Amino acid sequence: MTKQALETSSTIDGFLIGEKLHVGGMASLWSVTRSDIDSPIVMKVPTIMDGEDAEVIVGFEMEMMILPRLSGPHVPRVYGVGDYASQPYIVMEYIDGQSLFPLLEQSPLPAEQVITLATKIANALHELHRQNVIHFDLKPSNIMQRANGDITFIDFGLSRHLQLPDLLEEEFHIPMGTGPYISPEQVLQNRSDNRSDLFSLGVILYHLSTGQRPFGFPQNANGLRHRLWRDPIPPRQHQRNIPVWFQEVILRCLEPDPDKRYPTAAQLAFDLQNPGEVKITERGEKIKADGFFSVLKRRMGFAATIGTPRQPDQSPWLNAPIVVVALDLSDDSEALQQALRMHAANVLARIPDARLACVNVLRQNRLTMTYALDEEGRNLHVQRLVELKEWARPLGLSRDKMTFHVLEHVDPAAALLEYTRSNHVDHILLGAQGTGALRRLMGSVSSQIVAEAPCTVTVVRVPETKAD
């Protein structure tokens, strides 16, 4: 990776860098201009340092994949995307407006104001879902209200596009999201249900209406699990002026079981715009949270669900075979790299619907989980990612047919086997190692994968050339 200088008055891919507008934990925003763009634009750049940057890198990779595919007033318009090989960035329109975050300080807000805002958000969310995207990090700071009143969603680093590989699910096996807003499905590591966004919206509406968070601010996985069985205090117990029908709507969004929520954001928006059509159940009439025995019964029911592996998504694109090429990028054998590329091309030619996952394991120290910089000060995780892409470039596959994964683990064989099992891999290609102490060690990785992998494994070897 040849990182370009990012400073005021520098130029990257034709964009003139202006002042730095914002610095966050995951990214920074810069004002930029380009001669052929008249409207205000900004450049978002990930914050990558020596340390635990894997989630930042993969999340920004997802955002670079998803945002250019989206359109309409409810998402930022994208003007350019950089690459990790030089400088990762996303250039998008500057949104003239404000996030909903300041409204939390003003809450509880009048019910009429929350209902009007909720209707706009639900309609915008429906348009987002129609573009095959689940946001998965819906919260007030990620919802912008433009000067004209339109709602726009930002920060798609945790999002999933249902027609693209889900790199976050493939590489990380922990709940992903923001504690107060994360849905029960996300707690159970299920990233396949658009109704997760409706749960998060329910949390926002509850907070704006009552001034309280329905599930507090959990700091660990155990705290997150409480929402699987613990119902929130009914909003009307906090604020009696909340209409019964609106409490019905909010608590329906917050149902632990997604089947009991609204099936779509469009149906939620319909109820918000037609309160007379809302069917009032015991949810709307509740004045206190459920008692001990009701909660215990729900907890016992969900106990069997916690930790259960997610069932494979039934979307056709996920049912295509997955072919993994396990690459040892420290190997200096160009012939072996070419042989692996040839075998990958042959497999893909026989299985046109296959997806290719290029995987490398960045070996970690057993005592520390940080990864180092190379001799030139470049982040090793990013450098490996760039090298994987360079290896695959001659295959000429489209981005939705090919993904790249740098796994961090102390045991390369264990990392590859875990990846294989978690992602229902159908076929593994890996190179055979030669002789020598290091090669014998790496060869044991190949042997373990052949012995334990739950799928077909092809070990590719470069034919020895005979001496004259």
The answer to whether residues 122 and 242 belong to one domain is yes
Grade residue 304 by pLDDT with cuts at 50, 70 and 90: low
The secondary structure of 389-446, three-state, reads HHHHHHHCCCHHHEEEEEEEECCHHHHHHHHHHHCCCCEEEEECCCCCHHHHHHHHHH
- What confidence score (pLDDT) does residue 4 get? 62
Grade residue 317 by pLDDT with cuts at 50, 70 and 90: very low
Grade residue 334 by pLDDT with cuts at 50, 70 and 90: confident
- What confidence score (pLDDT) does residue 308 get? 44
CATH of the domain at 139: 1.10.510.10
Contact 344, 395 (CB under 8 A): yes
Query: CA geometry: angle at 193 spanning 188 and 196, to 5°?
Result: 75
Question: Is the model's pLDDT at 128 over the cut of 50?
Answer: yes
Arithmetic mean of pLDDT over the chain: 86
Question: Is the model's pLDDT at 124 over the cut of 60?
Answer: yes
The fraction of the chain above a pLDDT of 70, given in percent, is 87
Residue type, 227: R
Phi, psi of 388 (to 5 degrees): -60, -45
The answer to whether residues 80 and 119 belong to one domain is no
The secondary structure of 85-154, three-state, reads CCCCCEEEECCCEEECHHHHHHCCCCHHHHHHHHHHHHHHHHHHHHCCEECCCCCHHHEEEECCCCEEEC
- What confidence score (pLDDT) does residue 88 get? 93
**Token pair of 52 as six digits:** 């635990």
Pairing of strands 427-431, 402-409: unpaired
The answer to whether residues 327 and 366 belong to one domain is yes
- 269 HSE (CA, 13 A, CB side): 13
Mean pLDDT confidence for 90-112: 96
Residue 6 lies in a domain: no
Residue 310 lies in a domain: no
The answer to whether residues 330 and 243 belong to one domain is no
Which range of 67-81, 166-180, 257-271 scores highest in mean pLDDT? It is: 67-81
The answer to whether residues 327 and 419 belong to one domain is yes
331 or 64, which is more confident: 64
The answer to whether residues 294 and 394 belong to one domain is no
Which range of 52-66, 134-148, 431-445 scores highest in mean pLDDT? It is: 134-148
The answer to whether residues 267 and 387 belong to one domain is no
Residue 81 lies in a domain: yes
Q: What is the pTM of this model?
A: 0.80
Burial class of residue 259 in the structure, from the number of CB atoms within 10 Å of its CB (0-12 exposed, 13-18 middle, 19+ buried): exposed
Residue type, 465: T
Q: What is the number of domains present in the chain?
A: 3
The answer to whether residues 220 and 75 belong to one domain is no
Grade residue 2 by pLDDT with cuts at 50, 70 and 90: low
What sign results for the dihedral spanned by CA atoms 314, 158, 147, 90? negative
- What confidence score (pLDDT) does residue 433 get? 66
Task: Residue 289: count other Cβ atoms within 10 Å of its Cβ.
Answer: 13
Grade residue 438 by pLDDT with cuts at 50, 70 and 90: very low
Contact 76, 154 (CB under 8 A): yes
Lookup result for tokens 């994208």 = 78
Residue 311 lies in a domain: no
The answer to whether residues 374 and 390 belong to one domain is yes
Question: Is the model's pLDDT at 312 over the cut of 50?
Answer: no
Q: Is 207 helix (H, G, I), strand (E, B) or coil?
A: helix
Lookup result for tokens 């009991």 = 260
Residue 255 lies in a domain: yes
Where do the H-state alpha helices sit in 261-362? 265-273, 282-285, 292-303, 334-350
Domain span including residue 369: 320-460
Residues 5 and 182: their CA atoms lie apart, in Å, by 37
Residue 387 lies in a domain: yes
Residues 328 and 361: their CA atoms lie apart, in Å, by 8
Phi, psi of 99 (to 5 degrees): -75, 170
